[in-house]
Structure 1
């Protein structure tokens, strides 16, 4: 799994005014959970670009004033209008403790239903997975080479490796929709 380094600085004062001042300076107020204590810190907003604005899942090497922690981004809050980052929560990782993460789906193969004129609809772009940090996959591969018109691939059809899939097994990942033009031809052929 890819790693992103974020350099942070401990916060002396907590509160709305201090958080607002940090955001005006181009920083993001953050908290790291999971260890013995919560650590409140801030980091430059520019460092979040490779972590937030990508479809990949990442581990974070969080360097807070010289001490490095292995973490994942647990939650992030954006401003509703300007889309700037308001706050970020990190979860500290430990080798023996399983963690939940949203892992992107990668499709493999060509669907016969698409070749026949159908339209591929992606219903689920990420799948929630629980695993030890060392066993966390970069992405989950889904084979669509058997998808005919009107058929779909469900979460239950994925064979997990050293991880557990937490999504409902009956949830569709991708579907090949029958276009209206083909539905009309099928109806006239039956008559």
Structure 2
């Protein structure tokens, strides 16, 4: 997994008003949850977003805290503005080298299954997979090839292929992906009923008049 350096500032003020001022200055309020204690930080929004778009949320970040301290972290959580969808808060989780940690990595589906080509529907029940491993072994994603899945086939957590240094924490019987059968719904066609007014008799069937015989002509 790639590692990237991110410059961080410490901040002393907390609360909504302090966080608002931090954002106005082009920074994102953040909290570092460290194994030695928690710290209140702020990170330059442009710098973080540039790295974020490049690596995503599951990569290791090396925090450079005012050139005085360093910490290896992953992004534990983040909050988005409900209107602008901009990141307005970040939680970093620090880890110790040589110690395993728990995190989630995305499931990446590749290939087009044989069942889908026959009209089946691919259904995904797990988007992120919880794993346990050393920080250096955290994968960017867990890749699943569905090419050979037919209609009715399912792939379980026990079927996921991953490095032996990584432990998947899902129940082995957890269904991850299945190829479902498309359901056809037939709508019955009802005959139109004729509603008669009170006292009105049903109309008799109208017969076409038989053609009159042609008059005989003398030759």
Across the two proteins, how many residue pairs are aligned to each other?
Answer: 183
Distance of 1:174 and 1:3 partners within structure 2: 31
User: Shift in Å at residue 83 of structure 1?
Assistant: 1.9
Q: After TM superposition, give the deviation of residue 168 of structure 1 in Å.
A: 2.7
1:60 Cα deviation after fit:
0.8
Matched residue SS, 1:74? strand
1:56–1:104 Cα contact (<8 Å) kept:
no
Normalised to the residue count of structure 2, the TM-score between the two structures is 0.73
RMSD in angstroms over aligned alpha carbons? Answer: 2.4
Counterpart CA distance in 1 for 2:53 and 2:79 is 11
Structure 1 window deviating more from structure 2 (8-17 vs 49-58): it is 49-58
Are the structure 2 counterparts of residues 72 and 22 from structure 1 closer, same or farther at C-alpha, using a change threshold of 3 Å?
same
Q: How much has 1:159 moved relative to structure 2?
A: 4.4
The one of the two structures with greater contact order (alpha-carbon pairs below 8 A, sep at least 6) is 1
Cα drift, residue 54 of structure 1: 6.5
Mapping of residues 58-73 of structure 1, within 5 Å: 58-66=59-67, 67-73=69-75
Contact 2:155–2:178 (Cα < 8 Å) also in 1? yes
> Please, which runs of 5 or more residues in structure 1 have no aligned partner?
185-191
Q: Is the 8 A contact 2:111 2:146 kept in 1?
A: yes
* Helix, strand or coil at the partner of 1:180: coil
CA distance in 2, matches of 1:135, 1:107: 20
Residues of 2 paired with 1:108 and 1:136: CA distance?
20
2:175 to 169, 172, 182: 172
Q: Show the 5 A alignment for 1:106-125.
A: 106-125=108-127
SS at structure 2 position matched to 1:18 = helix
After superposition, residues 32-111 of structure 1 pair within 5 angstroms as 32-49=32-49, 50-51=51-52, 57-66=58-67, 67-111=69-113
Deviation at 1:21, TM superposition (A): 0.6
Q: Deviations over 1:88-119 (max 9, x none)?
A: 11111212221111112233454221222222
The two structures have a TM-score, normalised by structure 1, of: 0.83
Q: Which residue of 1 is the match for residue 151 of structure 2? A: 149
Unmatched 5+ stretches in structure 2 = 187-219
Judging changes above 3 Å, is the alpha-carbon distance between structure 1 residues 52 and 32 closer, same or farther for their aligned structure 2 residues? farther
Distance 2:57 2:41 in 1: 25
Bigger share in helix: 1
User: In the aligned structure 2, how far is the partner of 1:138 from the partner of 1:42?
Assistant: 25
Give the Cα–Cα distance (whole angstroms) in 2 for the partners of residues 74 and 152 of structure 1.
Answer: 31
8 Å Cα contact 2:57/2:74 also seen in 1: no
Distance 2:137 2:54 in 1: 24
Give the Cα–Cα distance (whole angstroms) in 2 for the partners of residues 55 and 168 of structure 1. Answer: 26
